[in-house]
Amino acid sequence: MGKQEKIYGYLIDQPLPDISLGQSIMNKMHEYSDTVFLIDGCNNDYRLTYRDLLEKSVKLAKFMQRYGIKIGDRIAIVSENRLEWLIALCATLYIGAIFAPYNPTYTEWEFRHVLNISEPRIVFVSQRTEETFTKLQPSLSWQIELIELDDKPFAANMRTLTNILNDEKVADFLKYKTVNIGDIKKHPAVLLNSSGTTGLPKAVALSHRNLLTLLLKVSKRDFLDITQDTRSLIFLPFYHGFAFATLLISLTVGANVMVMSNFQPERFLKLVQKYKPTFLPIVPSIMTLLAKHPLVERNDFRSLREILCGGSPLGKELVDAVKARIGDIYIRNGYGMTELTVLTSVSAYEESDVTALHCIVPGLCSKIVDIETQKTLDVDQVGEVCFKGDQIMMMYWNNPEATKQTIDEDGWLHTGDLGYYNEHGAMYVVDRLKELIKYNGYQVSPSEIEMVLLSHPAVRDATVCGRPDPRSGELPTAVIVKQPGATVTAENIMEFVKQKLSPHKWLRGGVQFVDAIPKNATGKSLRREVQLMIQATVSKL
């Protein structure tokens, strides 16, 4: 593909070992055997070595095979972060079943939706989710077995993982053989839930080859500097692609991972002091906390070599503020989506502007297309970001129409993100196509305004949405959480934005101060809920 076509990156046919992801993981467990892999930072520092994980996951795999689980059957898990999560994942991969993690904060209606997509035969639950699934179980059109990860289930007759592992006798787990799944391109390894570019959650089917490709290509210093001496601290939910990929990469290089079941600022800071992590995967909301939380300055972050931030656009001002507080470490911006096997592009180590994504994973091509005409655009022209290559998902599981809408007939995946490439080949992601504010014919990026707002010393958190307006279409409107003790007014904030941005980006819809902004488990603002907050306030006026 020539440069004149304005296509970036390059396709390569990089050979992979012709083994399943399960076999690849098992090989690494043998290699790193006595190394500690996981430490539970919220459960008395319980530790799991690679050998422990191998033994427990082989026992669970043997149980599932005796239960009748076959290649292609789905195994679900719906739990907070915990060490047992990895046991279920590995066992599922060994036997050629398909792993389907769910968000434990889903409502009963949302659980029913994702269950009907993947139709799992076994669901691992925790005390947090057991009662909801016990209630759902009789109404499903297929039979599911619930297995409780905690030792004390609410239901008296429910199997527990501990009982299974105690009862399962494996003469020599070191000699266990994984199931031959055949063509690794054609066999899904996981179904990760994603909203895609629009609509309800969909199950993204990633093949064994998709994930092996990711593991081979990103565990290099240009992408993620995760090596055997890396200590990561993961509080992002395991079911989310970012944390899931970090776990897999760590597992395959012999690294050490500290686990938090959920994010609590004080506990997070204590674990940083105690375990001295070297690598921290986070989202912009946690970057904001590092920049502004009063406890941060009392803690020592010198162990950190690198922070990788993903999930939504990251502003240079926020990065500078974090470095000023915790030290001049590498802070890098990552871009990707579940449908692209999580990660496609990162900012370069020595690049001061972290919004510039210089590094495309080898084997991927990218282009920018016009939203209306689908014509490939030139340098510095904003359009939809598209990718093609080995990391493109197999499909949306049981949803051929959504798959067709996302991957075109030439194999290009349309991300739903707006961005552009500059003359040096760096990609800049502007915003989500569906989140743009349409003001008087202008397309206004909420993220751009949010970055400006977060640079204000009195602003702790901010989300910008469009407020419907009969004359202008939508008016940019901000919902803001103040820093403790701040006396800033809405007029102060609006004037601050006026000084920074052009007129069509001004906060003509006003500013609302709130105690907290609704967010999902990965820290992204729930814009629909924020818009409802804005509409409710307007209706009272």
Contact 85, 244 (CB under 8 A): no
Report the chain's C-alpha Rg in angstroms. Answer: 23
Backbone torsion region of residue 117, taken as left when φ is above 0, otherwise alpha when ψ lies between -120 and 50, otherwise beta: alpha
402-440 tens-digit pLDDT: 999 999 999 999 999 999 999 999 999 987 787 878 787
Give dist(CA 367, CA 539) in Å, integer. 43
DSSP for 301-338, written as a single string = -TT--EEEE-SS---HHHHHHHHHHH-S-EEEEEE--G
pLDDT above 50 for 1: no
At residue 197, the pLDDT reads: 47
Q: What are the structural domain ranges in the chain?
A: 21-207, 437-539
Cα–Cα distance measured from residue 84 to residue 396, given in angstroms and rounded to the nearest whole number: 27
> pLDDT tier at 164 (50, 70, 90 boundaries)?
very high
Please determine, for residue 195, whether its predicted confidence score (pLDDT) is greater than 70: no
Is residue 441 within 8 Å of 323, Cβ to Cβ?
no
Distance CA 213, CA 170 (A): 32
Q: Residue 353 corresponds to which tokens in the numbers above?
A: 């502007």
What is the H or E stretch that residue 11 is in? none
| Residue 410, both tokens | 């030439």
- Tens digit of pLDDT for each residue in 365-401? 999 999 889 999 999 999 999 999 999 999 999 999 9
Torsion of CA 470, 195, 430, 240, to 10 degrees: 140
Q: What are phi and psi of 240, to 5 degrees?
A: -85, 145
pLDDT of residue 225: 81
Determine what percent of the chain is predicted with pLDDT higher than 90.
68
Which burial class, exposed, middle or buried, applies to 267 when counting CB atoms under 10 A from its CB (0-12, 13-18, 19+)? middle
pLDDT interval class at 75 (50, 70, 90): very high
Alpha-carbon gap, residue 298 to 275, rounded angstroms: 16
Q: What are phi and psi of 296, to 5 degrees?
A: -60, -40
Q: Which of 289, 285, 334, 325 is nearest to 307 (CA)?
A: 334
- Pick from 205-209, 223-227, 533-537: least confident: 533-537
| Beta bridge partners of residue 485, listed in sequence order | none
**Amino acid symbol at 114:** V
Arithmetic mean of pLDDT, 222-242 = 90
Distance of alpha carbon 168 from alpha carbon 250, whole angstroms = 28
Mean pLDDT calculated for residue range 144-167: 96
Cα angle vertex 33, ends 29, 35, to 5°? 110
Helix (H) or strand (E) segment spanning residue 416? strand 413-421
Q: What is the DSSP string of 244-279?
A: HHHHHHHHHHT-EEEE-SS--HHHHHHHHHHH--SE
Query: Beta-carbon neighbour count of residue 277 at 10 Å?
Result: 22
pLDDT classification of 228: cutoffs 50, 70, 90: very high
pTM score of the predicted model:
0.85
> What is residue 483's three-state secondary structure?
coil
pLDDT score recorded for residue 182: 95
Answer for the pair 259, 82: CB distance below 8 angstroms, yes or no.
Answer: yes
Taking the C-alpha atoms of residue 278 and residue 342, their distance in angstroms, rounded to an integer, is: 21
Distance CA 515, CA 462 (A): 11
pLDDT score recorded for residue 372: 87
Q: Which residue has the tokens 């593909």?
A: 1
* Per-residue pLDDT at 537 exceeds 80: no
Of 3.10.300.10, 3.30.300.30, 3.40.50.80, 3.90.1310.10, which CATH number belongs to 437-539? Answer: 3.30.300.30
Taking CA atoms, 359 is separated from 66, 170, 211, 350, 412, in Å, by 46, 45, 19, 12, 19
Superfamily of chain region 21-207: ANL, N-terminal domain (3.40.50.12780)
Q: Residue 448's closest CA among 287, 312, 292? A: 312
Euclidean distance between the first and final Cα of the chain, in Å?
57
Buried b (16+ CB within 10 A) or exposed e, 153-187: beeeebbebeebbeebeeeebeebebbebeebeeb
Looking at residue 538, what is its pLDDT? 63
Q: Which two tokens stand for residue 213?
A: 């490709």
Tell me if domain 21-207 and domain 437-539 are identical in fold: no
